[in-house]
Amino acid sequence: MTLPKPLAPATEKGAAISIRAMSKRYTTREGDLLAVDQMDVEIAHGSFVAIVGPSGCGKSTVLKILAGLQPVSTGAIAMRGTPLTGPRGDIGIVFQSPVLFPWRSVLDNVMLPILVLGLNKEQGRKVARDLLSLVGLKDFESRYPWELSGGMQQRVAIARSLVNDPTLLLMDEPFGALDAMTREHMNVELQRIWMERRKTVLLITHSIAEAVFLADRVLVMSARPGRIIDDVVIDLPRPRPLEAMNSPEFGAYVARIRTLFQLRGGVD
Amino acid sequence: MNTKRNMGLTIALFVSSILLWEIVVRVSGVPNFIFPTPSEVFQALWRGIAGGLYLRHAGVTLTATVLGFVIGTSMGLLLGTLIATYRYVDYFLYPYIVMFQSMPKVALAPIFALWLGLGIESKIFSSAVICFFPLLVNTVAGLRSADEDRVNLMSALGASRWQIFRYLRLPGALPFIMAGLELAVVLALIGAIVAEFVGAQAGLGTLIQTMNSNMDVSGQFSVLLVLSAIGLTLNRTIKFFRRRVLFWDPSEKSRQSGPNV
């Protein structure tokens, strides 16, 4: 299939994102609040990175900054070598809720980034249809979001996040609102989609198991101010079946991360 | 709710209340220039319709109502959009709008007659002024109701203000705007009638006044029936469009079984 041309020149090697000494400070009524403290990360092109941490550790702040929705207080971010200064059209986002537009059909929802970015509609529609079959919603393109289940809606959101062929896919607790069974199923699906598309993914999650299952690398953040306290490379073969969650290696990774939280006062 | 049995009950209830009205008025001996019987009202209605009198006056009132509605709601939509979009317009204009809104607009009808004369212009204007506010207020509320995550999604794609307006804010405001239109269409009729009361050459309001001075109460009742029919038709027309436009709105589905007011 043909994808729309990437907006930035693609360098297949090297860092997709490099975050240097990034801090984020909010001014609130109670005074200054340090949300993220001196974050240093390099994320390789095509890798799947998860961030886990307790509530209020600044995970979502990191996501908003990378999406160009908020400026950093200090430090710098570069994407594919160009400094990040604001929103750019080559990022896909998936939120905890599907954030679909109820007045648009499933296909028109997936097409939205194409319209906003002013890309070729004919070609975009083709890409959107391919993505809908990739997420298993081939026959649902003319349905409306409110006719679909929560899991299906989130698949539409994933298809939408990929339609502009983004350099980076940001996922903020994408399956947090789903029931446990659907969530596991969606984890397997996301792995499949990722293995087919090989996007750089940054997944933010509360679930240690989800992070270990999906990611090549798990960044563990501490409670406020958010700091990276561990960087765990998950060396498990892919595709990982759900049963991999029962393996001793998987258990060891989960235990390592969980111990880290317990030492720091636990996840709330 | 719309079962055969309920339909039958509705008709039975209607017929028996008309009969009760007829009997009570006849037995109590209230003079018909105070409270007419339903049969007199229907006779008056028939006379008025058959002679073409009501049609002519209703045409005038309906024209004023519809023109006033279109002008007033368009202005409300436009200004509401400006207020919701530009902080400065909001800051400098909104206090006056709130002040003007709290004023009973029907009290302005004599002034409009003074400025615009006794022709249809003053009726259109009165009608427009009264339906301006529900649209303004609802448009502002609707355009500001956009969900933050949806705005973030658009912004992260680098969407312009216009794109956010077109793809998100405006469609998201439609439930509010349609609710405003439904309210405004009934108000528009009130605006036109009040202006006709103040002084006019034709219109159902004028007809009521003439009948009142002739002590033709059954005539007045029959004009009221015509006015209710017009009001109901206008309201149903808006509802018809509302259902079409808001097919996606969850509150629309629950509303359909609710009362039709």
- CATH number of the domain encompassing residue A54: 3.40.50.300
pLDDT of residue B15: 94
Across the interface, do B153 and A99 touch by the CB < 8 Å criterion?
yes
Q: Which of B149, B158, B248 sits opposite A144 (nearest CB)?
A: B248
Please answer whether residues A157 and A79 qualify as being in contact, where contact means their C-beta atoms are separated by less than 8 angstroms: no
Contact A87 B157 (CB under 8 A): yes
Domain assignment present for residue A219? The answer is: yes
Instruction: Report d(CA A105, CA A100) in Å as an integer.
Output: 9
Token duo for residue A68: 């160009």
Tell whether A9 is covered by a domain. Answer: no
Task: Please indicate if any CB of chain B lies within 8 Å of the CB of A113.
Answer: yes
Q: How far is A262 from chain B (nearest CA, A)?
A: 32
Which contacts of B196-200 are long-range, i.e. CB under 8 A and separated by 24 or more positions?
B196/B61, B196/B64, B196/B123, B197/B109, B198/B109, B198/B110, B198/B112, B198/B113, B198/B122, B199/B113, B199/B118, B200/B60, B200/B118, B200/B119, B200/B122, B200/B123
- Contact across the interface for B150 and A101, Cβ inside 8 Å: yes
- Average pLDDT value for residue range B45-60: 91
User: Does A241 share its domain with A178?
Assistant: yes
* B261 has a pLDDT exceeding 50: no
Q: Which of B150, B159, B250 minimises the CB distance to A116?
A: B159
* CA–CA dist B210, B219 (Å, integer): 10
CA B241/CA B243 separation, integer angstroms: 5
Q: Could you identify the residue written with the tokens 């070598």?
A: A81
- The two most distant CA atoms of chain B are separated, in Å, by 77
Q: Which domain holds residue A43?
A: 15-90+166-263
CB B209 within 8 A of CB B197: yes
Q: Are residues A80 and A124 part of one domain? A: no
Q: What is the pLDDT of residues B78-126, one digit of tens each?
A: 999 999 999 899 999 888 888 888 888 888 889 998 999 888 999 999 9
Q: Are residues A181 and A259 in the same domain?
A: yes
* A185 and A79 assigned to the same domain: yes
Q: Are residues A116 and A204 in the same domain?
A: no
Flag whether A147 is in a domain.
yes
User: pTM of the predicted model, to two decimals?
Assistant: 0.83
Q: Is residue A3 part of a domain?
A: no
Query: What is the tally of structural domains in chain A?
Result: 2
Q: Which residues contact A118 (CB under 8 A, 6 or more apart)?
A: none
Residue from A64, A100, A103 whose CB has the most chain B CBs within 10 Å, to mutate: A103
How many angstroms separate the CA of residue A113 from the nearest CA in chain B? 7
Looking at the fold, whether A175 and A258 belong to one and the same domain comes out as: yes
Q: Is residue A252 part of a domain?
A: yes
* Residue A248 belongs to some domain of the structure: yes
User: Which residues pair with residue A169 across a beta bridge?
Assistant: A92, A201
Domain for residue A1, yes or no? no
**Do A170 and A86 reside in the same domain of the chain?**
yes
Task: State the pLDDT confidence band at B250, using cuts at 50, 70 and 90.
Answer: confident
Per-residue confidence in pLDDT tens, chain A, 268 aa? 444 444 444 444 567 888 988 888 888 888 888 888 888 899 999 999 999 988 777 888 888 899 999 989 999 898 888 888 888 888 999 998 999 999 999 999 999 999 999 999 999 999 999 999 888 898 999 999 999 998 899 999 999 999 998 989 999 999 988 888 888 888 998 999 899 888 899 999 989 999 999 999 999 988 878 888 889 999 899 889 999 899 999 999 999 998 888 777 544 4
The backbone torsions φ and ψ at residue A94, rounded to the nearest 5 degrees and listed phi first, read -125, 125
- Same-domain pairing of A54 and A185: yes
Mutate to test the interface with A, among B145, B152, B153, B155 (most CBs of A within 10 A): B153
Same domain, A259 and A181: yes
**Chain B residues with at least one Cβ partner in A under 8 Å:** 147, 149-150, 152-159, 163, 167-168, 171, 174, 248-250
**Together in a domain, A77 and A159:** no
**Does A108 lie in the same domain as A47?**
no
> If one looks up domain B40-255 in CATH, what number appears?
1.10.3720.10
Q: Which residue of B has its CA nearest to A7?
A: B157
A103 chain-B contacts, CB cut-off 8 A: 171, 174, 248
Q: What is the pLDDT of residue B254?
A: 56
What pLDDT shows up at residue A104?
Answer: 95
Of A149, A165, A181, the residue at which a domain comes to its end is: A165
Q: Inter-chain contact A99–B150, Cβ cutoff 8 Å?
A: yes
Q: What is the ipTM of this complex?
A: 0.83
The residue of chain A with its CA nearest to that of B244 is A103
Which among B152, B157, B171 has the least Cβ separation from residue A89? Answer: B157
Distance CA B127, CA A182 (A): 55
Nearest CB neighbour to B156, from listed A93, A102, A146: A93
Domain boundaries, chain B: 40-255
- Tell me, yes or no, whether A119 and A171 share the same domain: no
In a domain, A105, yes or no: yes
Within 8 A of B159 by CB-CB distance, chain A residues are 116
Distance from CA of A241 to the nearest CA of B (A): 32
Residues B214-245: tens digit of each pLDDT: 988 999 999 999 999 999 999 999 999 999 99
DSSP lists the bridge partners of residue A24 as A36
Separation of alpha carbons B207 and B202, rounded Å: 7
pLDDT of residue A107: 96
A·B CB contacts under 8 A: 56
pLDDT of residue B260 exceeding 60? no
d(CA B133, CA B76): 6
Domain end point (choices A118, A149, A165): A165
